[in-house]
DNA sequence: ACCTGAACACCGTTCAAGT
DNA sequence: ACCTGAACACCGTTCAAGT
């Protein structure tokens, strides 16, 4: 995990890991059956870093704070979301986490039926990540980004308009772009609002 | 794309592609600078298969039907979502698509500020996919799944409860599990409902 | 119980050379 | 303008062998 945290997941080959441990590549295979098993173990360690659920709080507080904790964990291990997506079978540790999340919804007054669909709708957000489509992390100096906006204006006027207000709101701080934490909580709260309203009105997918 | 559709994205190596085209690997490099550029081109082709936006409809109809069209396209090319996530720069084709989606929101009465956050909140759902965490596609015969449920009951009681109602609702049809299309539309509509309510009340992230 | 060395079947990509 | 062949620097993983 230290190697992946520092050098990225692409740098984590069995050979390079062995090198970092001052050992020959094949020595790793006495501790782990193959690379997939290594990645499985790393994911379990990541999940176990998520704070336990707050007891005695309402469902919304419990879910929200747990998800935000998961998000902090994933920020420490940026490779984890990509690895998670490639895992084909949930480990007991992941199942434990999901089981406790489901438990919070059910104890919070969600029907089992609604809880099922809620788990689908939350998807990877339950583990604190969401797939952003654009990488807006590239920080640019004001001149550079003005040039980019000007170039977009003709062909992609709507994108240019959005980008302009983002920069305007962020002020003149160099490199300031979108506020990841704000966007994550915005989407999370939008979902939680929707869930609460479905719960309150006794929503059901059943025909009967 | 035919090779990836048939054999999966892992089977798409430059060497195997060359083989399928009855050509030597290096011949590909006269048409494409490297593998990333090949993948970029494949993504552009995928995006261009998405239906154009319906003109004259309300924002919600336009967005909803376009996203559902994108979902159908991604179902024809199951590798596309994973490849999309690894693209670091949006191509003009992708920007075009995003530009037109933003345009629909703005014409539909969303402020630029709200539209910005909406684009983040929708994330990859704008392109018709969402990251499901569990692969429930494995179909099992009734006996098998009963055994799985019984095994879960002790350690993961909440998961077992959910799985039981899913199977119960699906009836005795062998292999019937979760209804992907239903789950996708459930989450999509939950989001669209939330967006409409923010739009209607003139939500703004600005302090001023 | 743990580590080693050599080998196999793969990758993406370079370079120089062919037609 | 397009294709080829040999090579380089990587992969994950096997097998048989060492201590």
What does B11-60 look like in DSSP terms, one character per residue? G--HHHHHHHTTS-GGGGGGT-SSHHHHHHHHHHHHHTTSPPPPTTS-HH
B19 touches strand C (CB under 7 A): no
A78-125 pLDDT tens trace = 999 999 999 988 999 999 999 999 999 999 999 999 999 999 999 999
Q: Does A178 touch chain B (CB under 8 A)?
A: yes
Find the residue in B nearest to A161 (Cα). B112
Asked if pLDDT for residue B207 goes beyond 70, the answer is: no
Q: In Å, what is the separation between the CA of B26 and the C1' of C19?
A: 16
Q: Grade residue A133 by pLDDT with cuts at 50, 70 and 90.
A: confident
Distances (CA, A) of A201 to A15, A110, A111, A195: 56, 11, 11, 10
- B33: nearest nucleotide, CA–C1' criterion: C13
Where residue A94 falls (left for φ over 0; alpha for ψ -120 to 50; beta otherwise) is alpha
- pLDDT score for A16: 96
Asked if B17 contacts B28 with a C-beta cutoff of 8 angstroms, the reply is yes
Q: pTM of the full predicted structure?
A: 0.93
Q: In Å, what is the separation between the CA of A47 and the C1' of D10?
A: 32
Q: In Å, what is the separation between the CA of B22 and the C1' of C16?
A: 23
Report the distance separating Cα A90 and Cα A74, nearest Å.
Answer: 17
- pLDDT score for B138: 63
Report the distance separating Cα B147 and Cα B162, nearest Å.
Answer: 15
- pLDDT score for B208: 43
CB atoms within 10 A of CB A3: 17
Helices (H), A1-58: 2-7, 14-20, 35-47
Pick A190's closest partner by Cβ from B116, B158, B191: B191
Pick B159's closest partner by Cβ from A102, A158, A165: A102
Cβ distance B162 to A103 less than 8 Å, yes or no, reads: no
pLDDT (mean) for B141-147 = 82
Q: Grade residue B45 by pLDDT with cuts at 50, 70 and 90.
A: very high
A8-57 pLDDT tens trace = 999 999 999 999 999 999 999 999 999 999 999 999 999 999 999 999 99
B72 touches strand C (CB under 7 A): no
Pick B158's closest partner by Cβ from A102, A156, A165: A102
Pairs across A and B, CB distance < 8 A: 150
Smallest Cα distance from B120 to chain A, Å:
6
Instruction: List strand C contacts in A 54-93 (CB < 7 A).
Output: none
């Amino acid at each position: 995990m230290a190697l992946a945290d520092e050098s990225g997941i692409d740098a984590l080959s069995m050979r390079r890991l062995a090198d970092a441990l001052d050992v020959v590549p094949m020595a790793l295979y006495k501790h782990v059956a193959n690379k997939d098993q290594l990645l499985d173990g790393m994911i379990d360690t990541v999940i176990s870093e998520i704070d336990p659920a707050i007891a005695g709080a309402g469902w919304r507080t419990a879910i929200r704070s747990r998800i935000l904790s998961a998000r902090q964990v994933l920020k420490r291990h940026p490779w984890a979301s990509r690895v998670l997506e490639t895992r084909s079978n949930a480990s007991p540790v992941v199942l434990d986490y999901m089981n406790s999340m489901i438990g919070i919804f059910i104890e919070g007054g969600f029907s089992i039926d609604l809880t099922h669909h809620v788990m689908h709708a939350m998807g990877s957000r339950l583990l604190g990540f969401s797939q952003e489509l654009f990488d807006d992390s590239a920080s640019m100096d004001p001149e550079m980004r003005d040039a980019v906006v000007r170039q977009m204006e003709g062909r992609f006027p709507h994108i240019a308009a959005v980008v302009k207000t983002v920069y305007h709101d962020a002020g003149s701080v160099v490199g300031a772009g979108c506020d990841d934490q704000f966007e994550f909580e915005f989407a999370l709260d939008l979902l939680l609002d929707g869930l609460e309203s479905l719960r309150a009105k006794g929503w059901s997918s059943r025909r009967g």
